[in-house]
Structure 1
Amino acid sequence: MIIITGGAGFIGSAMLYELNRSGHEQVIIVDDLGLTTPPKWRNLAGLRYVDFIAKDDFPALLERNALPGIEAIIHMGANSSTTETDADHLLRNNYEYSKKIASYCMQKEVRLIYASSAATYGGGEHGYTDGTEPIDRLRPLNMYGYSKQLFDRWAFRNGVLEHAVGLKFFNVYGPNEYHKGDMSSVVYKAYHQIRESGHVKLFRSHREGYEDGGQERDFIYVRDCTRIMAWLLENPSARGLLNAGTGTARTFRELAEATFSALGLQPSIEYIPMPETLRDKYQYHTRAEMQSLRAAGYDLPFTPLEEGVREYVCRHLMQENPFLDMHQNP
């Protein structure tokens, strides 16, 4: 039995699709379905799993040993809003909740794969090298990143990372993110802006050395993330903090151009001022160092940006079917 927390969310439901695609249906989903509009339950339609557990009920079930036969927990559940300002809420949901799951996995020798974040790297002044060596030097730029950093540090100091994997996800895009609102990917936002107005809005640069729209991110297609996690399930010797990116930085302008190209249109981009509240918390460059995952033995290629954007736009967004189900081609 595999448990996916946040299993109705973006990456969690895509991981369920990945498991179903390989014939694995002994999965329990843990989530809260009632907090988003449109509702997240649509991400689960057409996918196969044996049970659903409400997020708030899950820790108590673990404490009572009421869920026998667990082979692995894929812990994707968290508040992923980088603009969330309720620090207490983030500490409860992203830190304390994760500690309970990790403690259970340590006690029962259950494989744990959990979602950390590239937001822990802050402005990148200490680079983007994964592992535990730089863990205390990192300075996240927002409370979300700090909540993830807190758990990474706790997991390191309590020996969790000697057995588990924390994946530092970079900028993930792809099907099943339609419910994320302002936290949805720039591909999703760009597609809908083009459909509504024919234009895409990107932030101007407020830093020397970066052109407008020239801010860079390591964009990774969600399918590549689920393939990494599927590989980690099959390779329990891989452990520690590992980056989940492509190792390549691309600009927001290139991403917008790829979206226009997928639609068969010429680019039309409008540059707007970045809100002042974001300017001192904004990452201008991210690029995952991927040597650790490769050294662990992962050898699958990553989807090029243009290919991933085209597949996402043409196979999902243009079909008004922005979610994965087992009746679609993988």
Structure 2
Amino acid sequence: MIVVTGAAGFIGSCLISKLNQEGFNFIVAVDDFSKIEKAENLDGKTIQERVERDQFFGWLDQNHEEVEFIFHIGARTDTTEFDRAIFEELNVNYSKEIWKRCISYQIPLVYASSAATYGLGELGYDDNETIIPQLKPLNPYGDSKNEFDQWALEQEEKPFFWAGLKFFNVYGPNEFHKARMASVIFHAYNQIKATGKMKLFRSHHSDFRDGEQMRDFVYVKDLVEVCSYLMHHRKNSGIYNLGSGKARTFLDLVKNTFYAMDLEPAIEFIDTPADIRDKYQYFTEANMSKLQSIGYTKAFHTLEEGVEDYVKNYLIPHKYY
């Protein structure tokens, strides 16, 4: 059996689709299944068993001999949440318990970290493990992910294979439930559909023109391909960037959303809210050489390819992956 935590969420549900496509049908889906807004993400997927998040450790203690791999994707990901106790419980302590059981039961582990750990990018975006203690995330979510990365690296005992993946700006199907935390493409599509235009944040940085703030946008289908590769690869443990490796502007992203909707771009600029201005990232770009160095050679979707696939095949028909 393969365990996926955060199974009903955006990335977790896409990962289950990928595993099903590869013929893996004995999937144990772990999540807080009281969140009914995520229920449709699992429709049509082949799952062996659903386990509530707060019952998972008892389940694993009883069933560990049947578990072949754990993908720990579940986390509290709200960057606007400032209650550190929530992140300590769900992102740090919960992850530590999974880590310890993977050691005890000899189960390989892939877990979700985040590019939010890089903060404003003062030290760049290289997945060099020696700089992790020096990183300065901008919010409690990023702090929690960096805290667990540091803890994992400090442990003398580790799972026989493990990988922490620093997800950059992920977009793609199955994020209907994410509300404010959904991708810019999702919000652009809905705003364009409702108003015929899109509002973007104005630049408040002299080095960047309006709309030319840049992010590393990575399509979720590429992300789950990497997860699959690591499950089969099972060597070269460590922490890896997972982005496209190519920063693109918000203008590029929104224009391609218009094009995928067969519309001419109509873009307006509004001031970035004052309360987030000093924490606003103007540039992120994953250095992907470390993942490539362990043999991952599959090409990633370009922004144009990813946006077109997402909009035309999932957003317009309101379909799930």
**C-alpha contact 2:103 2:160 (8 A) present in aligned 1:** no
C-alpha change, 1:172 and 1:194, in structure 2 (3 Å) is same
- Paired residues for 1:1-330 under 5 Å: 1-35=1-35, 39-62=37-60, 64-159=61-156, 160=158, 163-321=161-319, 323-324=320-321
Shift of 1:175: 0.4
Deviation at 1:214, TM superposition (A): 1.1
Change (3 A) 1:121 1:162: farther
Q: Structure 2: which 5+ residue stretches go unaligned? A: none
Question: C-alpha displacement at 1:147, in angstroms?
Answer: 0.3
CA positional deviation for 1:173: 0.4
Unaligned runs of 5+ in 1: 325-330
Offset at residue 35 of structure 1 (A): 3.1
Alpha-carbon RMSD across the aligned residues, in angstroms, is: 1.1
CA contact (8 A) 2:114 2:165 kept: yes
Could you tell me whether the CA contact under 8 Å between 1:2 and 1:71 is conserved in 2?
Answer: yes
SS of corresponding position for 1:223: helix
CA drift at 1:20:
0.5
**Is residue 107–residue 160 contact of structure 2 (8 Å, CA) maintained in 1?**
no
CA distance in 1 between counterparts of 2:25 and 2:200 reads 41
AA matched with 2:87: L
- Structure 1 residue 79: Cα displacement: 0.6
Q: Which amino acid aligns with 2:236?
A: A
Give the aligned residue type for 1:141: L
Q: Report the TM-score, using the length of structure 2 for normalisation.
A: 0.97
* Mapped contact 2:114–2:167 kept (Cα < 8 A): yes
**C-alpha displacement at 1:317, in angstroms?**
0.7
The aligned amino acid for 2:22 is: S
Report the Cα distance in structure 2 between the residues aligned to 1:34 and 1:65, rounded to whole angstroms: 23
Q: Would the aligned equivalents of 2:203 and 2:209 in 1 still touch at CA under 8 Å?
A: yes
Matched letter for residue 144 of structure 1: Y
- Structure 1 residue 320: Cα displacement: 2.0
Give the conservation status (yes or no) of the 8 Å contact 2:168–2:286. yes
Could you tell me how far apart the structure 1 residues matched to 2:8 and 2:196 are? Answer: 32
Distance between the aligned counterparts of 1:106 and 1:161, measured in 2?
Answer: 5
- Paired AA for residue 22 in structure 1: E
Give how far 1:106 is off: 1.3
Residues 184-238 of structure 1, C-alpha deviations (whole Å, 9 max, x = no match): 0001000000000001111111111011111110000000000000000000013
Aligned counterparts of 1:86 and 1:256: Cα–Cα separation in 2: 32
Letter in 1 for 2:27: V
Q: 1:192 & 1:110 partners in 2: Cα distance?
A: 41
Instruction: Return closer, same or farther for 1:107/1:278 CA change in 2, 3 Å cut-off.
Output: same
Distance of 1:213 and 1:106 partners within structure 2 = 46
Matched position secondary structure for 1:53: strand
Q: Which residue of 2 aligns with 1:327?
A: none
% same residue: 45
Q: Deviation of residue 264 (structure 1)? A: 1.1
Contact 1:161/1:240 (CA < 8 Å) preserved in 2?
A: no
What's the offset of the Cα at 1:297? 0.4
CA deviation string 1:232-275 (max 9, x = no partner): 00000131000001110001111000000111111111111111
Q: 2:112–2:164: 8 Å Cα contact kept in structure 1?
A: yes
Separation in structure 2 between the aligned mates of residue 35 and residue 208 of structure 1, nearest angstrom: 43
Compute the displacement of 1:53 (Å): 0.2
Aligned partner letter, 2:226: I
